[in-house]
A and B are shown apart, each in its own frame.
Chain A
Amino acid sequence: MDLEERIHSIQRGDISQFEWIVEEYKNKIFSLAYGYTKDSYLAQDLTQDIFVRLYKNINSFQGQSSFSTWLYRVAKNQCIDWTRRNKKRMENTFLEEGQWDFKDLDIGPEERAIRKEKNQLLYEALESLPEKYRTPLMLFHFQNLSYGEIAEVLDLPSKTVATHLYRGKKLLREKLISKGRGDMLWTALL
């Protein structure tokens, strides 16, 4: 069964097909949610909320765009809403210790600490970016979307997306340098 058939099936009331959708997209949505919440438990809750909303609104998907574009648009809007509602909480949030899924399982405690520091710096720097730069960067890097796909999700021309990515990355670098308290730590991290 292809994606289109599955969606029609869900729209006709076959809830079991939605399980396939959750399984297929959960990690991507979770990585986006984590970029906004910086906390795995909050990101899990937010990811759940996103899927519940997707299911409830599945009938509004009429195939004008690709399903993934529609899905990311819903997810992005819900993440931005979440950020607005939790602005105060976010000011004092640091990356939790939690279970980190490091690709290289053989790394020692020192390497683990360095990687955690990099994660911390990057997420904090991302959080401090204006929304118009932050979302395209997250869609580009965490979801691996192309300029065209990001343009569809954000309803912007592709050239604007390219400009926002370029300026966003410049600004991100500046923030990383200032958060790393100078070039020394920045150099050590790279």
Chain B
Amino acid sequence: MDCSFIKLYLELLDRGQLNKELEEGIKSHIDYCKECSQELEEIREINNLFNEIQLPSLPMDFTSRVMGRIREDSTSPEKNIWQEFSKWGVSFVAAGLIMFLLNFVSFDFNIVTLTITEKNPDIINKVFEYAPSNILNRGFEQIEEIIENIGDRR
């Protein structure tokens, strides 16, 4: 075992949380490795400090205060929308898919091809592709405007 590996497990050695095999391996390494032995000492010093740390105590009525606030704030936990969604998710996806297909397969499906011939023999083909009928109507209005403009220029 090399030192960089040993150092990561010194903490657990101090806590007695290593399995027997690893504990014996690390202990025998520490017996001859000054650097790791020093590391263990330093860890123990800090751990002693942590063990002595003192905390102010919570007031006796802390739990009832928390419960009081919860009762004031809300009557029930928030619903987990994702959890709710997951119950209905498949149905939503199926409904969405059907609507999407209907949108493109039904009578609303239109391809309008407009061919505009100018003075030159060049032909400009513009393809407008609109699915919902209201957008299609707007498209027709634009086409009419373009045709009128061409007529004016002539």
Binding site for B on A (CB under 8 A): 10-11, 13, 15, 18-19, 22-23, 26-27, 30-31, 34, 40, 43-44, 47-48, 51-52, 55-60, 62, 96, 98-103, 115, 118-119, 122, 140-141, 146-147, 159, 162-163, 165-166, 169-170, 172-173, 176, 189-190
Contacts and interface: CB of A to CB of B under 8 A. Distances in A.
B7 interface: yes
Contact of B49 (A44, A98, A159, A189): A189
A56 B55 CA distance: 28
Contact of B46 (A34, A56, A172): A172
Contact of B48 (A27, A146, A190): A190
Interface in B43-84: 43, 45-50, 52-59, 62-63, 65-67, 69-71, 73-74, 76-80, 82-83
Contacts of A162: 8-9, 11
B42 interface: yes
A98 B17 CA distance: 35
A55 to B, nearest CB: 5
Given A40-B56, A172-B46, A60 B83 contact: yes
A169 B76 contact: no
B97 interface: no
A120 B54 CA distance: 10
Contact of A34 (B55, B67, B80): B55
B12 interface: yes
29 contacts: A11-B77, A19-B67, A22-B66, A26-B63, A30-B55, A40-B56, A43-B56, A47-B66, A51-B66, A52-B73, A56-B77, A56-B78, A57-B78, A60-B82, A100-B54, A101-B57, A115-B52, A115-B54, A118-B52, A118-B53, A119-B53, A122-B50, A159-B8, A162-B8, A162-B9, A166-B7, A169-B43, A173-B42, A190-B49
A18 B67 CA distance: 8
A52 B59 CA distance: 18
Contacts of A189: 49
A52 B53 contact: no
Given A101-B54, A118-B52, A169-B11, A62 B77 contact: no
A22 B45 contact: no
A140 B14 CA distance: 13
B48 to A, nearest CB: 7
A185 to B, nearest CB: 13
B56 A101 contact: yes
Q: Which of A18, A58, A59, A119 has the most C-beta atoms of chain B within 10 angstroms of its own C-beta?
A: A59
What are the 3 tightest A-B residue pairs by CB atom distance, in nearest-first order? Answer: A40-B56, A59-B80, A162-B8
Contacts of A169: 11, 42-43, 46
A58 B77 contact: yes
A170 B11 CA distance: 12
Contacts of B77: 10-11, 13, 55-59
A147 B8 CA distance: 11
Contacts of A98: 56
Given A52-B73, A101-B55, 8 more contacts: A10-B77, A15-B70, A55-B70, A119-B54, A122-B49, A162-B8, A166-B8, A190-B45
